[in-house]
């Protein structure tokens, strides 16, 4: 009598969304690039962990995640240390969204007029 071994199915890895690259041009900022590629600024920052969100330079190459790609759990767990202002937002709304004290955000951004933040502006989040 011979033993028959059943084939064990091999797990198929889940395909990751296609990513593209983008070379920063003069006059670009993260919000503009994210909007042009239909991704969130948070996903763009998470896909490029080595960048300084408040200082991207022409010629710098960024990874553009696929639209709707989830933000990696490590990026969510760590929480943002900077935040890019979205259209229609103001300091108190951002603080509520991030679960932070608005006065702490104002104090962490001494050169920013808390009554006049603009889309694309990068705030330090304590």
Q: What is the CATH number of the domain that holds 51?
A: 3.10.350.10
Note the pLDDT of residue 24.
Answer: 92
29: in domain? yes
Q: Which domain holds residue 31?
A: 18-67
How many domains does the structure of the chain reveal? 2
- Residue 123 bridge partners (DSSP): 83
Cβ atoms of 125 and 83 within 8 Å: the answer is yes
How crowded is residue 97: how many other Cβ atoms within 10 Å of its Cβ? 11
In a domain, 111, yes or no: yes
- Tell me whether residue 13 is in a domain: no
Check: pTM over 0.75? Answer yes or no.
Answer: no
Which tens digits make up the pLDDT trace of 12-49? 333 245 678 899 998 888 888 988 888 888 888 888 87
């Amino acid at each position: 009598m011979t033993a028959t071994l059943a084939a064990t199915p091999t797990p198929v890895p889940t395909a990751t969304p296609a990513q593209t690259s983008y070379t920063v041009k003069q006059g670009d900022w993260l919000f503009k690039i994210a909007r042009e590629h239909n991704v969130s600024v948070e996903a763009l920052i998470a896909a490029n962990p080595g960048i300084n969100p408040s200082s991207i330079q022409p010629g710098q190459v960024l990874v553009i995640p696929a639209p709707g790609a989830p933000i990696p759990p490590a990026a969510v767990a760590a929480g943002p240390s900077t935040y890019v202002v979205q259209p229609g937002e103001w300091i108190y709304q951002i603080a509520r969204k991030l679960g932070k004290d608005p006065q702490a955000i104002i104090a962490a951004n001494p050169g920013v007029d808390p009554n006049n933040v603009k889309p694309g502006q990068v705030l330090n989040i304590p």
